[in-house]
Chain A
Amino acid sequence: MLNFIKNNKEKLWVISKMDLKLRYQNSVIGFAWSFLKPVLQFVVYYTVFGFILKVGAGIEYALQLFFGVIIWTFFAESTSIGLNSFVSKASIISKIRVDKLIPPISSFITPFFSLCINFTIFYILYMFIYDGALTQFSLSNYSIFIVSLIQISILVISLNIILSFSFVFFRDLQQIWEIVLIYGVFLTPILYKIPIPENYQVLYYTFNPLAFPLENMKIAFFSNYSTVLVGNSNIWVSHTFFLLVISYFSYRVKKRFESNIVDYL
Chain B
Amino acid sequence: MIKIKNVYKFYKAYTVHTNTLKSFMINKKKYFSEKRKIPILSVINNLSVTIKDGDVLCIVGKNGSGKSTLAKLIAGTSTPTKGAIQITGKIVPFLELGVAFSNELNGHDNAILNGVLLGMSRSYIEKKVVDIFEFAEIQEFIKTPLKYYSSGMQMRLAFSIAMHASGDIYIFDEILAVGDESFIKKCLDFFTMLLANKKTIVFITHNLDFVKEHATKILYLHRSGEYSLIESQSEIESFSFTPTISNK
**CB-defined contacts of B116 to chain A, threshold 8 Å:** 10-11, 14-15
Q: A14-B122, A96-B118 are in contact. Are A260 and B77 (CB under 8 A)?
A: no
Q: How far is the CB of A86 from chain B (nearest CB, A)?
A: 13
Chain B residue nearest in CB terms to A26: B104
A194 to B99, CA, bound (A): 48
Chain A residue nearest in CB terms to B121: A10
Partner of B24, one of A26, A170, A262: A170
Interface residues of chain A: helix, strand, loop or mixed (majority): helix
Q: How far is the CB of A179 from chain B (nearest CB, A)?
A: 12
Q: Are A176 and B21 in contact (CB under 8 A)?
A: yes
Q: A14-B116, A25-B105 are in contact. Are A172 and B95 (CB under 8 A)?
A: no
Q: How far is the CB of A209 from chain B (nearest CB, A)?
A: 21
Measured as residues with beta carbon below 8 angstroms from the partner, the interface class of chain A is 20 to 34
Cβ-based interface call for A232 (8 A): no
Chain B residue nearest in CB terms to A260: B79
A11 to B113, CA, bound (A): 8
8 A Cβ contacts from B81-118 to A: 91, 93, 95-96, 99-100, 102, 104-105, 109, 112-113, 116-118
Chain B residue nearest in CB terms to A89: B100
Cβ-based interface call for A143 (8 A): no
Q: Are B112 and A14 in contact (CB under 8 A)?
A: yes
**CB-defined contacts of A91 to chain B, threshold 8 Å:** 96, 99-100
* 0/1 interface trace, chain B 115-130, chain A, CB 8 Å (1 if under): 0111001100000000
**CB-defined contacts of B105 to chain A, threshold 8 Å:** 18, 21-22, 25
**CB-defined contacts of A263 to chain B, threshold 8 Å:** 11, 78
**CB-defined contacts of A21 to chain B, threshold 8 Å:** 105, 109
Q: How far is the CB of B113 from chain A (nearest CB, A)?
A: 5
Q: Are A14 and B21 in contact (CB under 8 A)?
A: no
Partner of B117, one of A11, A22, A26: A11
Partner of B113, one of A18, A25, A176: A18
A239 to B11, CA, bound (A): 41
Q: Are B19 and A172 in contact (CB under 8 A)?
A: yes
A94 to B72, CA, bound (A): 8
Partner of A96, one of B11, B19, B24, B77: B77
Cβ-based interface call for A37 (8 A): no
Cβ-based interface call for B22 (8 A): yes
Chain A residue nearest in CB terms to B24: A170
Cβ-based interface call for B152 (8 A): no
Q: Are A18 and B19 in contact (CB under 8 A)?
A: no
A61 to B26, CA, bound (A): 46
Q: Are B79 and A95 in contact (CB under 8 A)?
A: no
Chain B residues within CB distance 8 Å of chain A: 11, 18-22, 24, 72, 75-79, 91, 93, 95-96, 99-100, 102, 104-105, 109, 112-113, 116-118, 121-122
Chain A residues within CB distance 8 Å of chain B: 10-11, 13-15, 18, 21-22, 25-26, 91-98, 170-173, 176, 259-260, 262-263
Provide 24 A-B residue pairs closer than 8 Å at the C-beta atoms, listed in order of the A residue.
Answer: A10-B116, A11-B117, A13-B122, A14-B112, A14-B113, A18-B105, A21-B109, A22-B102, A91-B96, A94-B72, A94-B78, A95-B77, A95-B95, A95-B96, A96-B77, A96-B93, A97-B91, A97-B93, A170-B19, A171-B20, A172-B20, A172-B22, A173-B21, A259-B79
Known: A18-B113, A25-B104. 19 other contacts (CB 8 A): A10-B122, A14-B113, A15-B117, A18-B105, A18-B109, A21-B109, A91-B99, A92-B99, A96-B75, A96-B77, A96-B93, A96-B117, A170-B19, A171-B20, A259-B79, A260-B78, A262-B77, A262-B78, A263-B11
- Give the 9 A-B residue pairs with the shortest CB-CB distance, closest first: A97-B76, A259-B79, A172-B20, A95-B99, A170-B21, A14-B116, A25-B104, A91-B99, A92-B100
